């Protein structure tokens, strides 16, 4: 229990620090265009993977 609590405190502290450190960059519209583009590429990749049907073989035990 203490390990999970410590990890949680560390995670959220680093998340807050990272947000503060990146705020000058994240306030620029180009940063959000880049982030949106990366999200779009990841979503397209997931869609292609799911449409291909190959993800079922990853779940089987054979």
Domain map (residue ranges) of the chain: 24-62
Cα separation, 27 vs 45, whole angstroms: 28
Instruction: List pLDDT tens digits, range 31-61.
Output: 999 999 999 999 999 999 999 987 776 666 5
- Look at residue 54 in the predicted model and tell me its pLDDT: 78
- Look at residue 53 in the predicted model and tell me its pLDDT: 82
- Look at residue 57 in the predicted model and tell me its pLDDT: 64
φ, ψ at 28 (rounded to 5°):
-95, 135
- Look at residue 34 in the predicted model and tell me its pLDDT: 97
- Look at residue 41 in the predicted model and tell me its pLDDT: 99
Place of tokens 């949106």: 36
């Amino acid at each position: 229990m203490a390990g999970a609590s410590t990890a949680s405190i560390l995670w959220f502290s680093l998340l807050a620090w990272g947000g503060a450190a990146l705020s000058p960059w994240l306030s620029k519209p180009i940063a959000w265009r880049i982030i949106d583009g990366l999200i779009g590429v990841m979503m397209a990749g997931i869609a292609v993977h799911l449409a291909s049907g190959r993800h079922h073989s990853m779940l089987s035990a054979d």
